[in-house]
Amino acid sequence: MKRKNFIYLILFLLILVGCNHQTSEETTFDEEGNAGTTSWAFKFVKYNDISYELTNIEVNESNVGEKIGEVKRDLTDLDTTGKLNEVDFDAAGLPEGTPLYKSKESKDTIIYKENNTYFIAKKHS
């Protein structure tokens, strides 16, 4: 009888481990060392109430249109509650002051400049 209970216990533990739900939240620490989590599934910048997902796709300077602004807030370390309202020129993953440009190639993309290189940010669907 003890062997049968042991087998049930092992099966129960395997089911618990298999049902473990992991999220894509990332642990962050504030200046005092307190842990928190960010609630973004991807790095983005917000413009005209649209989130644009940052990519590592480089773009030639000839495809860069007029400047539309620059990042005003990097939200990466600010949202530990999931209640932060995102507004235009907020970003998760770009530092404040990062310049943003229209794209001459597509209305579904904007361009950001980082380390003297231009990259595409795609409209998130």
- % pLDDT > 90, the chain: 50
pLDDT band for position 2 (50/70/90)?
Answer: confident
Q: What is the pLDDT of residue 18?
A: 67
Please state, in angstroms and rounded to a whole number, the distance separating the CA atoms of residues 33 and 105: 43
Q: What is the pLDDT of residue 32?
A: 41
1 vs 42: which has the higher pLDDT? 42
Give how far Cα 33 sits from Cα of 75, 77, 78, 81, Å.
17, 12, 13, 16
Tell me what the mean pLDDT of segment 45-50 comes to: 94
Secondary-structure percent of the chain, ordered helix, strand, coil, rounded to 5: 20, 40, 40
Residue 47 or 10, more confident: 47
Torsion over CA of 19, 24, 29 and 35, rounded to 10 degrees? -30
Give, in degrees to the nearest 5, the angle at Cα 26 between 22 and 31.
Answer: 145
Average pLDDT of span 93-109: 95
